Structure 1
């Protein structure tokens, strides 16, 4: 559809200021957590993105009254009339997001039953939900697979358990947290994810009355309680969006101030940004300012580097794609080893089409072998630069790759047509207005 095409006139630096709001990877989970509370919840700084619309729709289908609060970006959740939703109405959301799987615990506690439609999300690898289902089963859930989704019950309620994740999955950690806070007894989760968004979800649950201890060595202990109240919470800023704009500033030789970006959540990214030759300046929050980070290209040549994605506190997998676009402008050979998702380098084909020189490999090209080693996954890349990027017509395959293609189009000489830009709306609020604020020349095709 022509309305899903963005025409990008590239070759000009981005200059100006934009703002990031609450983290996509926390906001949607905090919305689900509201189901657990007996009273109203208030979530602030909520971005207007597609994932928020999907979760809001699912909550409303289950009887939650969701209203806009007095403050811009505030949502209020009234859970006093939670009810079972119509399966056909739930299935309307099938394939649109992976968030529905996290409804299991809250719905089991509220209703004793949960129906989860077929899941969607970005096509970046298998992303199985086996860890989720195994944890729920060990807590007493009964999972029946039907042609249209998963029918889950808990005949005797959920109870605490000891569970170790084979891999520190963010989604599975969230699943256990949301299910265990009102389960009977104590749950001990080992090899848990400890991303900033996980810590922020724990903060939300603690405000609701949950008892959660975070120990060393990725161990989280949850002591179940019988009731939870509503919450008032302002989420951490979106560190993925902040890094995306930072990479755009570097790739276009620009200067972008990202209001709301926070140093504490981006330290690993900032180290890499400095190593390759980018510059940044941090403004801490003050009495009259939320603070932010200014990112810019200081001139001269960027330097090639080697990086591996990893779970927190490593280099975030969602930072990899926009950063690779910037690395196409660095002198030398850069090496990227993707260890989180096995199929996240397919987007490099479009970059090569635009003039980049990127070769992908099945081998582990990082410092240590990963779980994808010796398997038939192209999960390492070598980027030779600097490359002069030229305009092309590209099709967006997934959310983060989509923004990376957009960055490449902005950096390239000439006019590109980027197809499938609606996918970007899943995680980037009002990105077209932000591009305009930074001086980009873009228009709908």
Structure 2
């Protein structure tokens, strides 16, 4: 479709400033948490992205009144939560993986929940088995039917002791959203502790939850009888901020990312500096952010491994790889979170990048994907002169990377799937590109 194509005239450094709002990976989960409250909740700095539209649709299908205010304000009133028709929920099937996080809150409020087929980016297996197993431990009964999974809680939900095989963000969110109103105490071991998880815990605590975050990835949740609404300003989107930083590096530009916070990006900033990028932090409470730029000279190769927090975030990997195609020498990237995250490099090679993929663990630590024939390590040889190409975006984060490559390349590229994927997680993408002087157009 023509409206899902962006024509990019490359070779122009990106210069200027853009604003990041609340983190996509927190906002959507905080919206689900609103179902748990007996009164209305208010979120601020909510980005105008498609994932927010999807969750809004799911909330409204379940009787939650959603209204918007100025500058990203979102008010959610769950006073009349009700069952949604399967057809209403299926409207969103395949668009997002958020529906499964509604299970705990809906079981508490209604005693029933339904999960349609789940979508999301095709970057790895990401099974829902861990979610279902945890819900069963809490006392949920799961009935598999042709239209999806129907869950009930005939005896209510009770606290559990549970250890995740892997510190999965989604599974940790599931346990948190279910445990806060469960009868008794829940102890979750090997939990994810990403900044977005901590921010979700802050949301739940504001609602009246009792949650203790211990050392060694242990979270203890004491169930309470009821929760109220919240008022919350989410942490800024560290994925979007880092992506613009990589874009400044790859295009030899300079971008001030207003709203970006240093504390949640320290691992990325260390790598950014090691590669040869420059940044400065403005801690002003109003109007502060991080300025990223290419200081001149050659970029340096690095060896990286993605990992759960506080390691290098997997969503930072793709934009960094584009920048590494311009570093002199061999860079190594070992992906340990998702087994199929390097699919986007096919298009980068088409543009002239020298990237080889390997199934071995090319890093200091063996990972889950070793000896399983997944191409989860990459060697990037640079610098490579990128040239224009027609690009098909495979997923959200890879899509941004394709656009960075197109902006850095010589010539005119056509990027397909911009609205389908990038609008899921990046607000006003076209407007931000224009503000940075990018030469783009819609056919």
1:36 to 2:33 alignment: no
Measured after TM superposition, the shift of residue 35 of structure 1 is 0.2
1:90 partnered with 2:82? no
Q: Which residue is 1:365 aligned to? A: 362
**Is 2:212 the partner of 1:213?**
yes
Deviations 1:294-324 (Å, cap 9, x if unpaired)?
0000000000000000000000000000000
CA distance in 1, matches of 2:288, 2:133: 42
Tell me the equivalent position of 2:273: 274
Structure 1 residue 191: Cα displacement: 0.0
**2:200 counterpart of 1:201:** yes
CA distance in 2, matches of 1:6, 1:23: 25
2:439 is the alignment partner of 1:444? no
Q: Distance in 2 between matches of 1:366 and 1:145?
A: 41
What does residue range 114-133 of structure 1 map to in structure 2 within 5 Å?
Answer: 114-133=113-132
Aligned to 2:426: 428
Q: Tell me which of 381, 389, 397 is aligned to 1:384.
A: 381
Distance 2:402 2:328 in 1: 21
Aligned length: 442
Q: Deviations over 1:112-153 (max 9, x none)?
A: 000111100000011001111111110100111111211011
Aligned to 2:56: 56
Shift of residue 291 of structure 1? 1.1
| Secondary structure of residue in 1 paired with 2:248 | helix
Tell me which stretches of 4 or more aligned residues in structure 1 moved more than 6 Å: none
| C-alpha separation in 2, matches of 1:386 and 1:327 | 8
Name the CA distance, whole Å, in 1 between partners of 2:56 and 2:5.
27
Query: Which residue of structure 2 lines up, in the alignment, with residue 155 of structure 1?
Result: 154
Per-residue Cα deviation, 1:370-420 (whole angstroms, up to 9, x for no partner): 000000200000000000000000100000010000000000000000011
Matched, 1:314 2:314: no
Secondary structure of 1:197's aligned partner: helix
Structure 1 position 72, deviation (Å)? 1.3
3-state DSSP of counterpart to 2:201: helix
Distance, in Å, in 1 between the alignment partners of 2:63 and 2:219 is: 31
1:92, distance to aligned residue in structure 2 (A): 1.0
Distance in 2 separating the partners of 1:246 and 1:353? 24
CA-to-aligned-CA distance 1:227-278 (integer Å, 9 cap, x gap): 0000000000000000000000000000000000000000000000000000
CA distance in 2 between partners of 1:232 and 1:204 (Å): 8
Q: How does 1:394-433 map to 2 (within 5 A)?
A: 394-422=391-419, 423-433=421-431
SS of 1:307's equivalent in the other structure is strand
Query: Please, what is the CA RMSD of the aligned residues?
Result: 0.5
Secondary structure, aligned partner of 2:365: coil
- What is the CA-CA distance between 1:285 and the residue it aligns to? 2.7
Partners of 1:202 and 1:110 lie apart in 2 by 20
Q: Which residue of 1 aligns with 2:333?
A: 336
**Residue 290 of structure 1: CA displacement?**
3.8
- Structure 1 unpaired stretches of 5+: none
Aligned match of 2:12? 12
TM-score by length of 1: 0.99
SS at match of 1:381: strand
Q: Does 1:324 align with 2:318?
A: no
- 1:353-382 Cα shifts (integer Å, max 9, x gaps): 001000000000010110000002000000
Secondary structure of the equivalent of 1:330?
A: coil
Q: CA–CA distance in 1 between the matches of 2:91 and 2:380?
A: 41
Q: How big is the shift at 1:2? A: 1.1
Partner SS for 1:302 = coil
- Give the Cα separation in 2 of the matches to 1:34 and 1:86: 20
Q: Which runs of 5 or more structure 2 residues have no equivalent in the other structure? A: none
CA distance in 2, matches of 1:45, 1:116: 29
Does the residue aligned with 2:55 lie in a helix, a strand or coil?
helix
In structure 1, the residue matched to 2:143 is 144
What are the superposed Cα offsets for residues 21-44 of structure 1, whole Å, 9 maximum, x if unpaired?
A: 000000000000000000110000
> Take 1:351 and 1:278, find their aligned partners in 2: how far apart are those partners?
21
> 3-state DSSP class of the match of 1:303?
coil
SS state at 1:397 partner: coil
1:74-129 CA distance string (max 9 Å, x none): 00011110000011111111100000000000000000000111100000011001
**How is 1:72-111 mapped onto 2 (pairs within 5 angstroms)?**
72-111=71-110
Q: Report SS of the residue matched to 1:359.
A: strand
